[in-house]
Structure 1
Amino acid sequence: MTNKILHLRNLLTNRASNIKLNLTNAKMPERFKGTIVEKWVNYWKQLGIDYKEAGTSFYEEAKAKPVKTSIYTSIGMLIYFSSKKNPSETDFIENLRNYNNDLVLVHESCHKPESSNHVKFIQRCFNEGILRRLSLGFISFMWVADYDKGVSVYKAICPHLQPEYLTFHKRIIDVGFWGKWWNLQNKMVDYDVNV
């Protein structure tokens, strides 16, 4: 098995060196010299050289510091897969409607007040048009704005009266990560048990 791998590695190395040799020895025809075609070919050659140097330097650093490379690779993979599973506003509204349907099927005297009040608050915000989603690519936040997007009063459009960054965390009502809206899900645990 090892001999086959070594043979394949040598074959690929020889093939790559032959391609590299052919590309470096390739001459530009006289009719293309000084034209945009020559500039275009030189651009792509230089781009290939740059990528090759970046790849070899990455490989050398990965070989020298394998722990650092594995940590960075793991973090990168986590962010990549988290971004693929980042929930949308449609997912949030769908979950809200499903939880509301669950609450409707249970008599109000059996509702857990925290669950019932939270769903009613979110529905009110949605109906008023003040529910917003902020996506950071791999994580999302549902937050409450002061005004609907269509409102054009001075308070709504003045940049100095917009929500402050330091108090923004108070406006967040849910966090979406890895395909779930976590706060809504936690509030609906034992929604049919009035405590």
Structure 2
Amino acid sequence: MASLRVVRRMCSAVAQTAAAPVTSSRWERLRNSKAGAWCRGLVSDYKEACREIVVGSWERPVKASVYASLLGGAWACCYTKPDRSSFEATLLECSNQLGLLSPWIRNGTSDGHVQSLVKLHNEGRLHHASLGLLSLVYRSDYDPDTTLYEAQCSNLSAPWRELPQRVLDVGFVGRWWVLDSKMKDYDVNEDEFKHLPPHMQVTSPPSAQEVDRSERLHKESWLALKPREEEKETSVVDREEESVSEEGQSAALKEEQTQA
């Protein structure tokens, strides 16, 4: 009886396994889930968007080229945007250029701007902010490491509407434009010429004829000196006189020889 019961149980188990549905794999279950359906919809949307971009650029090449140039220009601006270390290096270079000049020939505007920036940098009040396409350098009232109550209290900090007044320089496409403009003609002291007449204070670039004449004179200055016409004539006269005197001496010697 016991053996018949065991055989009956085994047959029932086999029948149940045969009647049970085949279970799907893990990948199929993940694919048929809600997350899988969302991923399939997202991929199809991106695929359709890329197809529309290609078709639209083929149908409207001018519009596509404009958009591509704008995206490329934005990427170039972001890539060439100067950082804080670039501003510090530029400020140090400008300070060294002014330090090599005498105080009497320095431009007052350039010297004053650079000295104020160096002072703010030494006090820790010079800050840098990145805005994606460009960079800003602005000043603050206190050093962030200062333990004063006015420097640490957020309610007493400068409002954002005062930021345009605190901006000192703008970095764009690898240059600091305000510092470069202030350093223009840094070796020309305009105070030296303020007592001159107005027509002497203004200088105009030389014309093409003046430039050619200056270059020609510069080239001629390296050539060997040539004797003038007068020097040539005097040398010819001297030679003739010498030849005449030599002929007279030879004739006198001949006469003496004949008399002897």
Tell me the TM-score normalized by structure 1. 0.75
In structure 2, distance between residues paired with 1:76 and 1:174: 25
Q: Find the residue that maps to 1:133 and give its secondary structure.
A: strand
Match in the other structure for 1:73: 68
Counterparts of 2:88 and 2:27, CA distance in 1: 61
Name 1:85's counterpart in structure 2. Answer: 80
Change (3 A) 1:138 1:32: same
Question: How far did residue 147 of structure 1 move?
Answer: 1.0
Alignment partner of 1:193 is 2:188: yes
Q: Which of 104, 108, 111 is 1:113 aligned to?
A: 108
Higher relative contact order (CA 8 A, sep 6+): 1
Displacement of 1:153: 2.8
Give the whole-Å Cα distance in 1 for the aligned partners of 2:27 and 2:88: 61
Task: Mark the CA change 1:33 to 1:100 in structure 2 (over 3 Å): closer, same or farther.
Answer: closer
Q: Aligned with 1:108: secondary structure? A: coil
Any gaps of 5 or more consecutive residues in structure 2? 1-22, 191-260
Distance in 2 (CA, whole Å) between partners of 1:38 and 1:185 is 63
Cα distance between partner residues in 2 of 1:139 and 1:92? 13
Q: 1:184 maps to which residue?
A: 179
Amino acid at match of 2:123: E
State whether structure 2 residue 167 is matched by structure 1 residue 172: yes
Is structure 2 residue 161 aligned with structure 1 residue 162? no
- The alignment partner of 1:86 has SS state of coil
Bigger Cα displacement from structure 2, 139-148 vs 37-46? 37-46
Show the counterpart of 1:131: 126
Moved more, 70-79 or 178-187: 70-79
Residues 65 and 159 from structure 1, CA distance in 2 versus in 1: closer, same or farther, beyond 3 angstroms? farther
Distance in 2, matches of 1:67 and 1:164, equals: 44
Q: Which amino acid aligns with 1:31?
A: S
Q: Which runs of 4+ in 1 moved over 6 A?
A: none
Contact conserved, 1:32 with 1:38, CA < 8 A, in 2?
Answer: no
Distance 1:92 1:187 in 2: 14
**Structure 2 CA distance for aligned equivalents of residues 156 and 63 of structure 1:** 58
Letter in 2 for 1:147: Y
TM-score normalized by structure 2? 0.58
Q: 1-side partners of 2:104 and 2:91: how far apart?
A: 20
Unaligned runs of 5+ in 1: 1-28
Residues 12-55 of structure 1 show CA distances to partners (whole Å, capped at 9, x for unaligned) of xxxxxxxxxxxxxxxxx932156557657656544432220121
Identity %: 31
CA RMSD of aligned residues (A): 2.3
Q: CA deviation at 1:64?
A: 4.9
Query: Which residue of 2 is the match for residue 143 of structure 1?
Result: 138
The alpha-carbon distance between structure 1 residues 81 and 34, as it changes in their structure 2 partners (threshold 3 A), is: same
Cα distance between partner residues in 1 of 2:25 and 2:140: 64
Q: Quote the residue 1:30 is aligned against.
A: 24
> Bigger shift: 47-56 or 123-132?
47-56
Within 2, Cα distance between the matches of 1:57 and 1:162? 50
